[in-house]
Amino acid sequence: MGDLNLDFSGITVSVTGLPDWVASRFAREWVAFVRQVPIGLPFLSMAFDERSFSRPTGTFQPKAMVAEFDPNGVWFRMPEGEIRINPGGRASGRLAALDDDRAYFTVQNLLRAALAYRLPDRGGALVHAAGLVLDGRAFALVGSEGAGKSTWANLGATGGALVLSDDLLLIDGLGGQVTALGSPFRSTFRGPLAPPGRWPLTAWLFPTHGRPPALAPVSSLLGRARLVANLPFIAESLQSDPRVATCVDSLLAAVPGAELRFALDGDFLSLLTDWD
């Protein structure tokens, strides 16, 4: 069985018990975020054992994941595998006996879910957002599928911005400093992603489409609703897990929000560069 030691720009993850070929694929595709030595005290520790699920039938459906929250942690379950995470960041899981892409993407999905559950402990979050870095400052475009995140990321890259992600953005809030992190998480963007690193988050941006490019204020109530709606895997625990509400409020208090109108060009970049 294969092991992985991952470092997402300071968010460390240990994964053990993977099929060797799955671990090798992660090591190859996430090479910039793989450590060659074990991590002493990882932020998240995931252990998969040899007890496997029954082999699922049908096509792979990553959105079929369900979450079961309780005071002692959470279960994330998919037809291809499951994992249980406790509040201390230790997780144990099982995988179906698969020898195709589904095994790799199942582990990826469970890892992201586990991170999403764990990050509020340090004032951070995994957010459905694209991220760009301009002049050393990060901007997050928050939105669900179809909001234009990948288009925005591609336009930013063409205009010289560094792309953090076009789908899931890793945010850290440790010590009250909200930073956007380099990570390997992407959707359809095929250009180079930012290397490991941390950039101060300057704004939460909520997209609309049209011309000319413009920024408009967003009420705190609307900004909160939009951010909560784009917390994958954990949004439904808002009422039962006080960490989530506390985290959302602190992220919005630390970083201003605005509505960004943009079209199929990079004209919006000057608005972000001139952000004061």
Query: How far apart (Å, rounded) are the C-alpha atoms in residues 185 and 176?
Result: 24
Q: Is the pLDDT of residue 173 over 80?
A: yes
- Check: CB of residue 245 under 8 Å from CB of residue 238: yes
What was the pLDDT predicted at 91?
Answer: 97
Report CA torsion sign: 233, 239, 243, 244.
Answer: positive
Q: Is the pLDDT of residue 276 over 90?
A: no
Enumerate long-range contacts of 68-71, CB under 8 Å, 24 or more apart.
Answer: 69/236, 69/237, 69/240, 69/241
Nearest to 137 by CA among 200, 205, 193: 200
Chain segment 50-76, per-residue pLDDT in tens: 777 777 877 788 778 999 999 999 999
Residues in the chain, how many?
Answer: 276
What was the pLDDT predicted at 61?
Answer: 80
Taking residue 98's Cβ as centre, other Cβ atoms within 10 Å add up to: 20
Mean pLDDT score of the chain: 95
Cα dihedral 158, 161, 164, 170 in deg (nearest 10) = -140
Cα dihedral 91, 94, 99, 102 in deg (nearest 10) = -70
What was the pLDDT predicted at 53?
Answer: 75
| Helices assigned H by DSSP within the chain | 20-29, 101-118, 149-158, 220-229, 242-254, 269-273
Find the mean pLDDT for residues 240-259: 97
What was the pLDDT predicted at 64?
Answer: 84
| Helices assigned H by DSSP within 131-241 | 149-158, 220-229
- Check: CB of residue 183 under 8 Å from CB of residue 165: yes
pTM for the complete prediction?
Answer: 0.96
**What's the CA angle centered on 92, arms 88 and 97, to 5 degrees?**
160
Query: How far apart (Å, rounded) are the C-alpha atoms in residues 184 and 193?
Result: 7
- Encoded tokens for 97: 């006996």
> Which range among 38-52, 143-157, 224-238 shows the weakest confidence by mean pLDDT?
38-52
Chain segment 95-124, per-residue pLDDT in tens: 998 888 999 999 999 999 999 999 999 999
What was the pLDDT predicted at 112?
Answer: 97
